[in-house]
A = this chain, B = another copy of it.
Amino acid sequence: MAIFSKTCEYAIRAIFFIAHKASAGARVGIKEISAGIDSPEHFLAKILQDLSRKGIVQSAKGPNGGFYLDEAALKRPLADIVEAVDGNGIFIGCGLGLKQCSEVNPCPLHNDFKMIRNQIHDLLQRTAISEFNEDLNLGIASLKK
């Protein structure tokens, strides 16, 4: 088990890629993105369509069209992508899968997991999409393989 679904992994990598490539109003096509992050092209297209509907990413059809991120989108925290794709289960769900788990009716691991969930949430909340552009430019960080 990974932390995120495959869909969400592709989504994050794709958004990073777009943020990195499509600076200053340029647009990136789905072929370039899927090649750039090593993901199945049509599957990624579906994911970006969905994120586009939700306003996480912007898109334009036709020649010179493609995906891009406006000012607001670039500033968004990673948490927004994760929540749009995987929902908030990772932030609030019970580690043992109990529906009613809560402070008053906790599972044995409730408190331990609360800490970890909060850390994941904090991390994703304080990290903006555009934050890795420099590392990607410098080739310090990778989105492929």
Contact = CB atoms under 8 A, between A and B. Distances in A.
A145 B143 CA distance: 39
A74 interface: no
A93 B144 contact: no
Nearest to A12: B96
Contacts of A140: 106
Interface in A103-145: 105-110, 112-113, 115-116, 119-120, 123, 127, 131-132, 135-136, 140-145
Given A9-B96, A9-B97, A98-B145, A113 B3 contact: yes
A53 interface: no
A4 interface: yes
